[in-house]
Amino acid sequence: MDIERLKRRKRQLGYTNEEVARRSGVPLGTVQKVLGNTTRNPRKETVLALARVLDPVMAMEMDSGGSELKETVFAYKTKAAKEQGEYTLDDYYAMPEDRRVELIDGVIYDMNAPSMAHQIVAGEVYHQLVECIEEHDMPCMPGIAPIDVQLDRDDRTMVQPDVLIAMDPDLNIGHCLFGTPEFIMEVLSPSTRSKDQILKLGKYKNAGCLEYWVADPENERVTVYYFRDETWPQIYSFDDQVPVRISDGLCAIDFARVKRKLQRLNDPREKQKRREAYDKWRAAHGLAPKRTGEDNAEIDHTQE
């Protein structure tokens, strides 16, 4: 599957990612990841759908591979009969359970499984928020992804913020939050950087969110938007205590704790300590010692 060939044809045709998504029926988020080389092993049916739009000769070559692939593509395109911008909550809820997406203004965005670093940042911030909320008996609901948020209270948008705080108890209607949380944090990853920093920034502000954080593990930086303050954004490092403005001075997140956990994730000495502890655990449970080099096997779980 020659993705570079498809990228060259896209440039020659002058198509945008949105145009490719509209013509192929492939979700915009998937087009961005495949043609941006974020996804290393895209599904054949996805590549074939793109090739039918960008390079019909390549599509014919792939079609000759057998009827099973053609049938899969037909089913894929049948499910994707709508154009981007026309999807609704009915389409969102019809997605397979193992496919995680967001719906924003009628556009479906595919979401990669989060990395360990991403989960450490989101999990530690959520943990500190819960500690503070319980300590001060604050009347609010903290949440962590995945949780559906029907942001605009319409049928064209459903997002899953990484971390949130809802002050209004009536937002919780059981299967989702119906309305806009007062506090939202997103953790950047390579595939969501543009969406989180541009698209969601505007969506959350316009929907009435009061405070929006963008945590960037790669650059160890937190960008804070408090939309009632004309001086936003404010930039903090992962060495700072970052105040939660909607808590009226009661809560601050110690990002130094986040940083320490991220450092332990890849520190060779910490890894060795964990390996030794793991060996003892295996022995205590009657398990055979781990084979040498077993922990270095590289398995590609990235699929689109």
CATH code of residue 78: 1.10.260
pLDDT at position 37: 77
In a domain, 99, yes or no: no
Judge if 143 and 235 occupy the same domain: yes
**Is the pLDDT score of 223 beyond 70?**
yes
Q: Report percent pLDDT > 90 for the chain.
A: 54
Judge if 125 and 191 occupy the same domain: yes
**Is the pLDDT score of 294 beyond 60?**
no
pLDDT at position 73: 31
Tally of domains within the chain: 2
Judge if 201 and 127 occupy the same domain: yes
In a domain, 167, yes or no: yes
**Is the pLDDT score of 68 beyond 50?**
no
In a domain, 48, yes or no: yes
In a domain, 98, yes or no: no
pLDDT at position 153: 95
Q: pLDDT confidence of 220, banded at 50, 70, 90?
A: very high
CB 182, CB 211: distance < 8 Å: yes
**Is the pLDDT score of 303 beyond 90?**
no
- Residue 37 token pair: 């080389």
**Is the pLDDT score of 178 beyond 60?**
yes
**Is the pLDDT score of 10 beyond 80?**
yes
Q: pLDDT confidence of 78, banded at 50, 70, 90?
A: very low
In a domain, 91, yes or no: no
In a domain, 27, yes or no: yes
Judge if 244 and 132 occupy the same domain: yes
CA distances from 142 to 55, 102, 131, 250, 260 (A): 48, 20, 10, 15, 23
CA distances from 145 to 91, 224, 271, 275 (A): 20, 19, 27, 30
* Least confidently predicted of 37-41, 112-116, 245-249: 37-41
* Least confidently predicted of 22-36, 43-57, 196-210, 224-238: 43-57
Q: Residue 219: which domain range?
A: 116-261
> Mean pLDDT throughout 120-138?
97
Judge if 121 and 252 occupy the same domain: yes
In a domain, 257, yes or no: yes
**Is the pLDDT score of 6 beyond 50?**
yes
**Is the pLDDT score of 264 beyond 80?**
yes
Q: Which residues have C-beta within 8 Å of that of residue 143, sequence separation ≥ 6?
A: 161, 163, 164, 165, 166, 177, 181
In a domain, 97, yes or no: no
> Mean pLDDT throughout 142-155?
96
**Is the pLDDT score of 77 beyond 80?**
no
pTM: 0.69
**Is the pLDDT score of 51 beyond 90?**
no
Residue 219 sits in a domain whose CATH number is 3.90.1570.10
CA dihedral 222, 226, 227, 231 (to 10 degrees): -90
**Is the pLDDT score of 260 beyond 90?**
yes
pLDDT tens-digit readout, 191-209 = 888 899 999 999 999 999 9
The overall average pLDDT reported for the chain is: 85
Q: pLDDT confidence of 290, banded at 50, 70, 90?
A: confident
Strand ranges for the chain from DSSP E: 101-104, 107-110, 141-144, 149-150, 163-166, 177-178, 183-187, 211-216, 221-226, 234-237, 241-243, 252-254
> Mean pLDDT throughout 119-136?
97
CB 256, CB 262: distance < 8 Å: no
> Mean pLDDT throughout 273-284?
92
Q: pLDDT confidence of 244, banded at 50, 70, 90?
A: very high
